[in-house]
Amino acid sequence: MTYQSKPLPFSEIPKGLSKKAVDIHHDKLYVGYVNKMNEIGEKLQALSETAFSGANQTYSELRALKDGETFATNGVYLHEAYFDVLSGAGQAQGPLVEALKETYGSLEKFVTIFSAVAMSVRGWVVLAWDTNIGQLKIYGADAHNQGGVWGCLPIIVLDVYEHAYFMDYGSDRGTYIKDFWASLNWPAANEKFGKIK
């Protein structure tokens, strides 16, 4: 099955980002991950018996494809989750906000912690519902296929790779993160939280 890229779920460009930066991020980078995910899937389907018999942990065709598969697939899914909440209207209210207050003591404390994690990682910061413990958790990742936790479902995802903000913010990641909160689509985040929980 070929995976289809999804269009941007918003028309209004988020605060601080230019249309050009958003278009490149979505149309080139994200779509590129979708294409690579499909290409890797086709190559895995076409593997011969030789590839399976020669599999090993140092290097093999199978190992390289499986490693690339998780990198590309997570690149697709994390970008989709990021774009889902990147831009929108709405106040910080609803069941997710109430759960964040209960978990972190206040919405402000949650934003402070999430933002600090965003400053400390190279790739992604994710607010997820951890199905293993039945709780909201903030996780950080330096790469698409590193830092993710099995059984965790993303709700709010922020891309902090430089490609996400450098065109418009230069090296000012802090302002990019602050503007992310000003543009966050809380209704979409609440809807995702409701489906997950």
- Ordered by start, the domain boundaries in the chain are 19-86, 95-196
Q: How many CA atoms lie within 13 A of 124 on its CB side?
A: 27
Which CATH number is 95-196 given?
Answer: 3.55.40.20
Which CATH number is 19-86 given?
Answer: 1.10.287.990
> What are the contacts of 26-31 at 24+ separation with CB within 8 A?
26/79, 26/83, 29/79, 29/163, 30/5, 30/75, 30/76, 30/79, 30/80, 30/83, 31/5
Rounded CA separation 42/36 (Å): 10
Please report which confidence band the pLDDT of residue 1 belongs to, taking 50, 70 and 90 as the band edges. confident
- Residue 43 has a pLDDT of 94
Indicate whether 32 pLDDT > 80.
yes
| Percent residues over pLDDT 70 in the chain | 99
Please report which confidence band the pLDDT of residue 49 belongs to, taking 50, 70 and 90 as the band edges. confident
Closest CA to 193 of 99, 65, 126, 115: 99
